[in-house]
Amino acid sequence: MNLGRKKKESIETVLYTIPSIILVTLTIYIPFVMSGYYSLTEWNGISKDPVFVGFDNFITLFSKSSDFTTSLVFTAKYTILFMIITNVFALALAVVLVKKLKMANVLRGVFFVPYIMSMTIVGFIWKFIFSQGFAKLFEMTGMEFLNLSWLGDPKLAFYSVVFVGIWQSVGFYVVLYIAGLQAVPSDVLEAAIVDGANGRQKFFRVTLPLLGPSITTCVFMSLTNSLKVFDIILALTKGGPGGSTYSVTLDIYREAFQNNNYGLGSAKSLVFFVIILVLTQLVLKGSRNKEVDI
């Protein structure tokens, strides 16, 4: 009887899993393998017979084309700033909002609302603010920083993109950190107080180490989200001025779908995939080694 039930459960498990496997294979694995093949060819996406060129596309990335390396530098700078500022700011806000404040729930909602908005819409909103909103405020207040070319100057455009990215997503990380702070055992915190720890010592020596899983999750997600930044840049600057805000994803999109060079675009995507794979594994390994078991 038990054998028949187990056999039936095994069959059901296989039948329920097969549709998911087929969908994942069709949407991820097959396109990935095809991308690997196209990266070795010269193809415009229209002709029936791609021309096999071997590793010429990969050689071109680092020897003949400076666009890809420039976009890598921009993405690296954006990722570092985004990860550090987002996690530090989100953790600080979570520490404040986890306290019993009258407006705590309202403030949590206020910080989380931008995250549920479309990235493209957020980009257009801030493009309007940077170009017209600040100009209007400058006329009213006379504050010089409002009259700066936030999207026209290459240096300011970079920080504008970083700011908008952080503004849009910080609420999500605040929620994750709040969940982590609420999961810290109260008896451990009480024991620290009994041992004479002040507020600062209690946070850095007790609370922060116990937030290891939450920090790992937030760092990993902020890393992946910043590496694939695309929508906000497309809406804000379209990679300008002068290509100063070209991310790798935007460069791949332009190469494949605007320049119709699917071979070189596929090569860029594969190189970027390897970079992301290595970085995520290093971050996960480093973060997990520092986690503390309760």
- pLDDT higher than threshold 90 for residue 69: no
CA dihedral for 173, 251, 245, 110, sign (positive or negative): negative
Provide the token pair at 276. Answer: 């992301």
Nearest CA to 268 out of 121, 37, 61, 32 is that of 61
Give the total number of structural domains in the chain.
Answer: 1
- pLDDT higher than threshold 60 for residue 281: yes
Return the pLDDT at 64: 64
pLDDT-derived band at 83, boundaries 50, 70, 90: very high
The answer to the question of residue 10 being in a domain is no
pLDDT-derived band at 290, boundaries 50, 70, 90: low
- Residue-wise pLDDT for 184-223, tens only, equals 888 887 788 887 778 788 888 888 888 888 898 999 999 9
CA 13, distance to chain mean position in Å, is 34
Q: What is the pTM of this model?
A: 0.88
Enclosing domain of residue 193: 66-289
Map 214-239 to HEC letters: HHHHHHHHHHHHHHCCCHHHHHHCCC
Provide the token pair at 22. Answer: 């087929």
The answer to the question of residue 45 being in a domain is no
- Residue-wise pLDDT for 215-250, tens only, equals 989 999 999 999 999 989 988 888 888 888 989 999
CATH number for the domain that contains residue 284: 1.10.3720.10
Nearest CA to 267 out of 281, 279, 278, 251 is that of 251
The answer to the question of residue 16 being in a domain is no
Place of tokens 């109260």: 186
- Residue-wise pLDDT for 121-152, tens only, equals 898 899 999 888 888 888 888 888 788 888 88
CA dihedral for 215, 221, 224, 230, sign (positive or negative): negative
Lowest-confidence region among 137-146, 158-167, 254-263 = 137-146
Computed over every residue of the chain, the mean pLDDT equals 86
Rounded Cα distance, 88 and 178, in Å: 13
- Residues 41/51, Cβ–Cβ less than 8 Å: yes
Nearest CA to 218 out of 173, 284, 168, 285 is that of 173
Please state the length of the chain. Answer: 294
Return the pLDDT at 193: 81
CA-to-CA dists, residue 259 to 75, 162, 222, 251, 262, angstroms: 21, 27, 30, 10, 8
Return the pLDDT at 58: 87
Report, as an integer, the average pLDDT of 85-111.
Answer: 87
Residues 6+ apart with CB under 8 A from 180: 94, 211, 213, 214, 215
- Residues 269/37, Cβ–Cβ less than 8 Å: no
In the chain, % of residues over pLDDT 70: 95
The answer to the question of residue 255 being in a domain is yes
Provide the token pair at 68. Answer: 């890809």
The neighbour count for residue 64, using CB atoms within 10 Å, is 9
